[in-house]
Amino acid sequence: MQRKGARHMAFYRIVAADSRSPRDGRFIEQLGYYDPLRDPPEIKVDAEKTIGWFQKGAQPSETVRALLSRVGIMETWHEFRKGRPLSELAHIEEEARKRIEAQAAMDRRKKEEKKKRKKAESEKAEAEEKEAQTAPAEEPETGAEADETVEEAAPEETTEQPAGEEPSAEAAEPQKEADEGEPEAPEAAEQPQDGGSDGDGGEKPE
Contact 72, 92 (CB under 8 A): yes
Look at residue 197 and tell me whether its pLDDT is greater than 50: no
- Dihedral of CA 112/118/124/130: which sign? negative
Domains of the chain, start order: 2-101 (3.30.1320.10)
Read off the pLDDT of residues 111-159 as tens digits, 9 standing for 90 and up.
889 989 998 898 888 888 888 888 665 555 555 554 555 455 545 555 4
Question: Which parts of the chain are beta strand (E)?
Answer: 2-4, 11-16, 29-35, 42-45
User: How confident is the model at residue 145, as a pLDDT?
Assistant: 55
Global confidence as pTM: 0.51
Reduce the DSSP state of residue 13 to 3 states and report it. strand
